[in-house]
């Protein structure tokens, strides 16, 4: 029996929920990409390897790119990717193929799954009934993906028109993300609880003696800090002040700690 290993990156739990469902159905081991970047481990011979991540501006998050640049997939027997995304843009197949081939094994499959959009600088998250409908559809598609992974099927989903348009913004957008923490504003409702520090997958936040936030400019833009803050004390300009926060109902602070352990 081949080993299946799924690497995931998540800011608000959508990608984790999808990774968990596929792992459950394929009997896979789950490893957080922040953790794998810190403690690299070789891929077992002939393993099926999955990468589950949120789509950022029509492409892969910086940390996922760095992970793929550091890992060797040469020993893998099957490689698949699953994007979760707020829209219906498709999967960044060209970027995936480029990175995956350079890592030693061209991707055999890539899929995308719609989930609630967590990018609240642009728009509010969908209403709860809409979120529930998305979770149901997502579990359905994840189960179908798991079947195909077990059978090592080849299946490449590509970008649609909207995704290709968004892809034009990917380069400048992703390059600006590490310093995007300069835009975070902490309100007076901050209790200095440290949850934002705990959930950050990039170890990008620390609290100074007086509880002042220090941002280290290696931000991934995942918005975990903003969405997990129990006081809603983190904002990006004025735009996010009136928008509700989002996180997948099954995602906890300890899940976020686990992803980088
Ligand atoms: C920085 C950033 C950029 C995003 N860009 C896109 C995008 O281009 N297209 C899209 O459909 N969703 C986009 N989203 C929404 C997320 O891809 C989506 O909500 C995803 O499921 C979040 O997964 P997570 O909870 O695992 O972090 C973006 C979210 C963030 C934080
Ligand atoms: S999670 Fe919110 S309340 Fe807690 S320290 Fe961070 S900003 Fe302050
Ligand atoms: S600072 Fe916030 S947005 Fe940036 S990587 Fe950390 S949790 Fe994500």
Q: pLDDT-based confidence at 169, cuts 50/70/90?
A: very high
Nearest in space to 97 (alpha carbons), one of 41, 59, 149, 44: 59
Say if domain 4-170 classifies as CATH 3.40.50.360. Answer: yes
Instruction: Find the 153 Cα to ligand 1 centroid distance in Å.
Output: 26
Per-chain mean pLDDT for the chain? 97
Question: Which class is domain 177-260?
Answer: alpha beta
- Taking the C-alpha atoms of residue 238 and residue 12, their distance in angstroms, rounded to an integer, is 21
Residue 36's alpha-carbon distances to 31, 40, 240, 244, 260, in angstroms, are 7, 5, 32, 32, 8
Q: Which atom of ligand 1 is nearest to the CA of 18?
A: 26
Hey, where are the domains in the chain?
A: 4-170, 177-260
108-161: per-residue pLDDT in tens? Answer: 999 999 999 999 999 999 999 999 999 999 999 999 999 999 999 999 999 999
Same fold, 4-170 and 177-260: no
What is the model's pTM? 0.98
The answer to whether 253 and 228 are in contact (CB under 8 A) is: yes
CA of 21 to the centre of ligand 3 (A): 25
234 Cβ inside 6 Å of ligand 2: yes
- pLDDT higher than threshold 80 for residue 45: yes
């Amino acid at each position: 029996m081949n080993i299946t290993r799924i690497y995931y990156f998540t800011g608000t739990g959508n990608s984790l929920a999808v990774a968990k469902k596929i792992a459950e159905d394929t009997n896979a081991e789950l490893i957080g990409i922040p953790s794998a970047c810190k403690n690299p481990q070789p891929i077992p011979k002939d393993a099926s390897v999955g990468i589950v991540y949120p789509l950022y501006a029509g492409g892969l998050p910086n940390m996922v790119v760095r992970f793929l640049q550091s890992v060797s997939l040469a020993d893998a027997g099957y490689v698949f990717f699953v994007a979760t995304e707020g829209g219906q843009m498709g999967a960044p197949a060209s970027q995936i193929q480029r990175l995956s081939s350079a890592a030693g094994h061209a991707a055999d499959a890539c899929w995308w799954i719609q989930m609630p959009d967590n990018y609240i600088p642009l728009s509010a998250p969908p209403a709860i009934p809409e979120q529930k409908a998305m979770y149901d559809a997502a579990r359905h598609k994840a189960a179908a993906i798991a079947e195909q992974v077990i059978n090592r099927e080849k299946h490449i989903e590509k970008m649609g028109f909207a995704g290709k348009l968004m892809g034009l913004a990917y380069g400048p957008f992703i390059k600006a993300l590490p310093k995007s923490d300069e835009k975070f504003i902490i309100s007076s409702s901050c209790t200095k609880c440290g949850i934002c520090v705990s959930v950050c997958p990039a170890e990008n936040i620390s609290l100074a003696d007086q509880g002042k936030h220090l941002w280290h400019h290696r931000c991934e833009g995942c918005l975990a800090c903003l969405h997990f803050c129990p006081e809603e004390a983190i904002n990006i300009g004025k735009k996010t002040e009136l928008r509700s926060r989002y996180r997948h109902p099954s995602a906890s602070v300890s899940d976020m700690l686990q992803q980088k352990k």
